[in-house]
Amino acid sequence: MKITKNNLRFLPFLLPGMIGVFLFILLPFSDSVRRSFCTAVKGDYIGLKNYETIFHNEAFALAVKNTLRFTAVCLPILIISSFFIAYFLCRLKYIRLIKSSLLFPLAVPTATLVFIWQVLFGDSGYINGILQNMGCESISFLHSGASFYVLVGSYVWKNLGYTVLLWVTGIMSISTSLTDAAKVDGANERQCLFKIILPNLKPTLYTITILSFLNSLKVFREAYLVAGSYPHESIYLLQHLFNNWFVNMELDKIAAAAVCVFAVIFLGIILLQRLWDREEKSI
Amino acid sequence: MKLIKKVMIYILLGVLCIAILYPVALIPILSIQDSDELIKTTVPMLASSDKFVQIDYLPQYPTLGYFKRLLLFTPEFYTVFRNSILTVGAILLFQILVAAPSAWAFAQFGFKGKRLLFNLYVIFMLMPFQVTMLSQYLVLDNLSLMNTRWAIILPAVFSTFPVFLIYRGFSDIPKDILDSARIDGANEWNVLRYIGLPLGKSGVLACIVLCFLDYWNMVEQPLAFIKDKTLFPLSLYLPMLDMSNADMILAASVITLIPAVFVFVIGQNHLEQGIIAAALKE
C-alpha cells in the first residue's frame, strides 16, 4: 500500500503542467494531424489529397525553396564565423565586455530596429548614400534579391553571440591537459586545432546546428516587420506562407504543411542525436 | 611577438563589437536630436525626396521633446505598453507556477513513462511556432479566447521550454541535502519550496531572463491570434506607426528598448547559463 502511494507522489507536481501540455499541445496537434487528411470545411476524409495540393502549390514550392536556401546560406556562415571568434576569444583574458556586446542583439526587440533598417538600407538610405559618394550604383536592399542578404546579415547579427557562447563552452570543456600534452610532444597550433579541438567539438556542432536552424525560423520577425506579408519573392519564407494561409483560413493546408515541417524537424533531431550517440561511444 | 598577436585579436574583436552595437546605438542618438537635425535623416526616406539619408552622430541641440510628447500626449502608447507588460508579466508568472512543480517531478521522482514524457516535452520545446500554430488556434477557438490577451498568454504558459530549463537547475541539487530534509519530516512541497527553489534558482532565473526577452519581442503569436489593435503588444504596434512620425517611432523604440536592456544587463549571467543549459544534452 505504501509503495503505490510513494509511486504516485509525483502526480500533484506534474499533473497541472501535464494537463496543460496535453490540452494545448498534444491533443490539438493530433487533431491537426487528423485534419491534414480531411477537407477544411466539412471534415470528410480525403486521404493524402491535402498533401498533394500543397506539393503542387507554387507558393509552397517557393517558400520551401527560399527557406532551404536561407538555411543553407546562413548556417555555415554563422557556425564557421562564430567558431573562429570563439577560438580566439578563448585565448584572451578580458572577454566580459566582448561577450556582452556579442550577446546584446539577443535583447534588442526586432520592432525597435525596423526604423533603423529603413534608415540604413532604404532606397535612399545611409548605405546607398555612401555607395553613391563612392561612385557606385545604389542597391535596392529591401525590395530586390539583395533583401535576402540583408536578412542573412540580420540573422547572423542576432545569433552570433549565442553561437559563440556555445562554442566557447564546448572549447573550454576540452581539458587543457589534452592540448598541453600534445604541445609537449611538439604539436603546433594548427595540429592541436585539427587533431584535438575540432574532433572533440563534434557534439557541440550537432547542438549548434539544431539550435541555429530553429533560430533561423525566427527571422520571420525581421522579414515580416520590415517587408510585410508579401515581401520580395527572394525572402518569401515558409513562415510567411503559414501566416497567409492562416489569414485566409486555409486550415487544411496549414495542417498538412505543419505535419510535414514537424516530420522534417523530428527526423533531423533524431538523426543528429544518433550521430551524437555514436560519437560518444567512440570517444 | 605573442603580445602583438593578442593586441591584434583584441582590436579585431573590438571593431566587430562596435559594428554589432552600431545599429542599436543609432536609436537613442537619433531620438534626442531636435527636429531640424532629425530632418536630415528622415526626409530623404520619403519617396518624394532625391537626397540620401544623413546621420549626425553628435546631436547639436539634444532634446527630450519627443519623449515628452509621446508620454504626455499619446494615450494609445500607454495602452500598448500596458498590454506588453500585462501579457509578458502574466506569462512569466504562470509559467513558473506551472513549470517549477513539473520540473520538480521530473528531477526528483522516478515513474513509469518518465523518459518518454520528458522526450516528448523536449521535442515540442524544439518545434517552431508554425508547427503548433494550428493546434493552438483550434483550442483557443474552442474556448472562444481568440482576440483576447489569453490567446497569447495560455499557450505560452504551457510551453515546455521552462520545464526543461528549471529541470536543469533542480537536477544539479545534491540528493543528500534533500533526503535529509525528507527524513526530518518535511513534506515534498516544503522540500521544493524551502530547499529546491532556493538552491535551484539558477534555472528559474535563466528561464525568466530568456523568456522575458523572447516574449517582449513576440511577433508571430499576436499577429495570428489578435485582431484588435488596442490589444497589440509593443513589438507589433511599433512597426505599424507611419514613417512620417519618425520622432514618435524613435522615442517609442527607446522606451521599448529600456526594459529589455535592463533585464539583459542585470541578468546576463543567467542568460548565458540558460543558453548553455538549453544546449546540453539531457
SS3 A181: helix
- Quote the CA–CA distance of A154 and B20 in Å, as a whole number: 10
Give residue limits of the domains in chain B.
Answer: 24-63, 75-279
Please work out, in degrees rounded to the nearest 5, the angle formed at the alpha carbon of residue B69 by the alpha carbons of A114 and B38.
50
The enclosing domain of A112 has a CATH number of 1.10.3720.10
Residue A135 counted as domain residue? yes
Residues of B in contact with A88 (CB under 8 A): 9, 12-13
Query: CB–CB of B54/A123 below 8 Å?
Result: no
Give me the number of domains chain A comprises.
2
SS3 B74: coil
Same domain? For A192 and A92 the reply is yes
Tell me what pLDDT residue B1 has.
62
Q: Under an 8 A CB cutoff, do B117 and A18 touch?
A: yes
Residue A43 counted as domain residue? no
Give percent above pLDDT 70 in chain B. 98
Residue A221 counted as domain residue? yes
Tell me what pLDDT residue B259 has.
95
Q: Is the pLDDT of residue A3 over 50?
A: no
Same domain? For A24 and A120 the reply is no
Q: Is the pLDDT of residue B267 over 70?
A: yes
Residues of B in contact with A128 (CB under 8 A): 52
The reply to whether ipTM tops 0.90 is: no
Neighbours of A113 (CB within 10 A): 27
Residue A40 counted as domain residue? no
Same domain? For A103 and A210 the reply is yes
Query: CB–CB of B216/B88 below 8 Å?
Result: yes
* Residue of B112, B134, B143 to mutate, testing the A interface (most A Cβ within 10 Å of its Cβ): B134
The 3-state secondary structure of A155-168 reads: HHHHHHHHHHHHHH
Q: Which CATH number is associated with domain B75-279? A: 1.10.3720.10
Residue A90 counted as domain residue? yes
Same domain? For A28 and A132 the reply is no
Within 13 Å of residue B139, how many CA atoms lie on the same side as its CB? 22
If you average pLDDT over residues B87-98, what whole number do you get?
Answer: 95
Q: List the one residue out of B20, B267, B246 whose CA is nearest residue A85.
A: B20
Same domain? For A147 and A211 the reply is yes
CA B40 to chain centre: 33
- Calculate helix-pair angle for A146-173, A220-227, nearest 10 degrees: 150
A187, B104, B211 from B163: Cα distances, Å: 45, 9, 12
Same domain? For A99 and A170 the reply is yes
Same domain? For A14 and A112 the reply is no
In the predicted model, what is the mean pLDDT of chain A?
A: 87
Q: Under an 8 A CB cutoff, do A10 and B111 touch?
A: yes
If you average pLDDT over residues B31-44, what whole number do you get?
Answer: 85
B29, amino acid identity: I
In the predicted model, what is the mean pLDDT of chain B?
A: 89
* Residue of B52, B116, B269 to mutate, testing the A interface (most A Cβ within 10 Å of its Cβ): B52
- Quote the CA–CA distance of A231 and A278 in Å, as a whole number: 43
> pLDDT tens across B50-89, in order?
788 888 888 888 888 889 988 888 888 899 999 999 999 9
pTM score, whole prediction: 0.90
Neighbours of A44 (CB within 10 A): 8
Joined together, the cell numbers standing for residue B133 give: 500554430
Residues of A in contact with B216 (CB under 8 A): 109
> pLDDT tens across A178-216, in order?
888 888 888 888 888 888 888 888 888 888 998 898 889
- Read off the pLDDT band of B281 (50, 70, 90): low
Tell me what pLDDT residue B94 has.
96
Neighbours of A45 (CB within 10 A): 9
- Nearest CB neighbour to A106, from listed B134, B154, B213: B213
Query: CB–CB of A139/A128 below 8 Å?
Result: yes
CA A194 to chain centre: 27
Query: CB–CB of B277/B165 below 8 Å?
Result: yes
Residue A44 counted as domain residue? no
Tell me what pLDDT residue A187 has.
80
Which structural domain, as residue segments, surrounds residue A11? 1-35
Helix (H) or strand (E) holding A113: helix A110-121
Same domain? For A104 and A68 the reply is yes
- Read off the pLDDT band of A122 (50, 70, 90): confident
- Read off the pLDDT band of A262 (50, 70, 90): very high
Same domain? For A96 and A19 the reply is no
Which phi and psi (to 5°) does residue A85 adopt? -60, -45
Same domain? For A9 and A59 the reply is no
